[in-house]
Structure 1
Amino acid sequence: MFVKFLREKKSASIILTIFRLYLGYTWTIAGFEKVTGSFDATGFLHGSVSKATGEHPAVQSWWADFLTHVAIPNADFFNFIVSWGELLVGLALLLGVFTTFSALMGAIMNFAFLFSGTVSTNPQMLLLTIFILVAGRNASRWIGLDRWILPKLFKLNHKSTTNNNEYPFN
C-alpha cells in the first residue's frame, strides 16, 4: 500500500520532490566544493583503512583491502570520480533528470562512505534516496525534467516496451 502511494500519488510526488531537492542541493554543494577546491581523498582513504583494526572495527577487512589495493593507488581517479559524481548527481536531482539513475548513483556513494566508516549525513541521505528509488518515476513525474525527457526518449527507442506513454522502469 505504501509503495503504491509512493509510485502513483501526486501528493507523494510533491513530498518526493522536497526529498529530491534536498538531496540534490546537498550533493551539488559537496561536489562543487570538491571540484573547485583542492580535494584529495588520500588522507580519508588512509584513515578508513586504519579503522579496520581492533576488536570492533568500523571498516570491514574486505573494504579495507579494496581501499588499500585499488582506491589508494588510484587516488587521483577517485578524487575525480567522487568530485564530479557528487556534482553531477546533485545537479541531476535538482533538475529532476534521470532521477532514478541519479538517486542510485548517490546511494552507491553513500554506501561507499558508510563502508569507509563515515556516518555523518549518509544514513539520512540514503534513507531519503531509498524513497526516491522505490517511487521510481513518480519522484520527478510532475515536477522535474523527467516529465518531458523520459517519455520522449523511451517512446523513440523502445516502442515495443512502452504502453500509454509509460517507460520501462518505475
Structure 2
Amino acid sequence: MFVNLLRENRIVAAILTFIRVYIGYQWLVGGWGKITGGFDAEGFIQGAIGKATGDHPAVQGWWATFLENVALPGADIFTFLVMWGELLVGIALILGVFTNFAALMGILMNFAFLLSGTVSTNGQMILLTLFLLVAGYNAGRFGLDHYVIPFVRKIYTKNEKTAYVKPVEAH
C-alpha cells in the first residue's frame, strides 16, 4: 500500500520533487566543489585504507583491499568519476531526467563513501534516495522524465516489435 502511494500519487510526486531537487543540489555542489577545487581521490583513498586498522576499524578489511588494489592504482580514474559523477547526478536529479538511474548512481556513491569511513550526510542521503528509487517514475513525474520516459518507451516498443528473432531449429 505504501509502495503504491509512492509510485502513483501526484501529491507524493510533488513531495518527491522537493526531495529530488534537494539531493540533486547536494550532489551538484559537491561535484562542482571538487571540479573547481582540485580534488584528488588518492588522498581520500589512502585515508580510507588507514581507517582499516586498529581495534575498531571504520573500514572493513575487504573494502580496504579493494581500495588498495583497485582504487589506489586507478586514483586518476576514480578522481574523474567522483567529480563528474557527483556533478552529473546532481544535474539529472534537479532536472528530473533519468531520475531512477541518477538516484541509483548517487546511492552507490553514498555507499562507497560510507564503506570508506566517511559518515557526513551520506546516511540521510541514502534514506531519501531510497524513497526516490522505490517511487520509480513518480519521482521524476514533475521533471523532464515526464517527456523523456514516454519517448524512450515508444522507441523501445517500436524496436521490440520490429526485431527479428530467428527461431531455434529442433534437431
TM-score by length of 1: 0.91
Residue 71 in 1 paired to residue 71 in 2? yes
Secondary structure (helix, strand or coil) at the match of 2:94 reads: helix
C-alpha separation in 2, matches of 1:40 and 1:60: 22
Answer with 118-127 or 151-160: which moved more: 151-160
C-alpha separation in 2, matches of 1:75 and 1:160: 40
CA deviation profile, 1:62-119 (whole Å, cap 9, x unmatched):
0000100111111111100000000000000000000000000000000000000000
Secondary structure (helix, strand or coil) at the match of 2:97 reads: coil
CA deviation profile, 1:17-59 (whole Å, cap 9, x unmatched):
0110001100001101111221112111111111111222110
Question: Which position in structure 2 is the counterpart of 1:158?
Answer: 157
- Map 1:49-128 onto structure 2 (within 5 A): 49-128=49-128
Equivalent AA in structure 2 for residue 119 of structure 1:
V
In the TM superposition, residue 159 of structure 1 has moved relative to its aligned partner by: 4.2
Question: Which position in structure 1 is the counterpart of 2:32?
Answer: 32
CA deviation profile, 1:1-24 (whole Å, cap 9, x unmatched):
111110000011011101100011
C-alpha separation in 2, matches of 1:57 and 1:15: 38
Q: Structure 1 pair 155/71, CA: closer, same or farther in 2 (3 Å)?
A: same
Secondary structure (helix, strand or coil) at the match of 1:59 reads: coil
Q: How many residues align?
A: 161
Equivalent AA in structure 1 for residue 3 of structure 2:
V
C-alpha separation in 2, matches of 1:53 and 1:9: 48
C-alpha separation in 2, matches of 1:37 and 1:158: 44
C-alpha separation in 2, matches of 1:55 and 1:159: 59
Question: Which position in structure 1 is the counterpart of 2:148?
Answer: 149
In the TM superposition, residue 160 of structure 1 has moved relative to its aligned partner by: 8.2
Equivalent AA in structure 2 for residue 154 of structure 1:
R
Q: Which ranges in structure 2 are unaligned for 5 or more consecutive residues? A: 161-171
Equivalent AA in structure 2 for residue 137 of structure 1:
Y
Q: Which has the larger radius of gyration?
A: 2
C-alpha separation in 2, matches of 1:69 and 1:76: 14
C-alpha separation in 2, matches of 1:135 and 1:147: 14
TM-score by length of 2: 0.91
C-alpha separation in 1, matches of 2:127 and 2:72: 28
Q: Which ranges in structure 1 are unaligned for 5 or more consecutive residues? A: 162-170
C-alpha separation in 2, matches of 1:15 and 1:42: 38
C-alpha separation in 2, matches of 1:76 and 1:91: 23
Aligned-residue sequence identity (percent) comes to 61
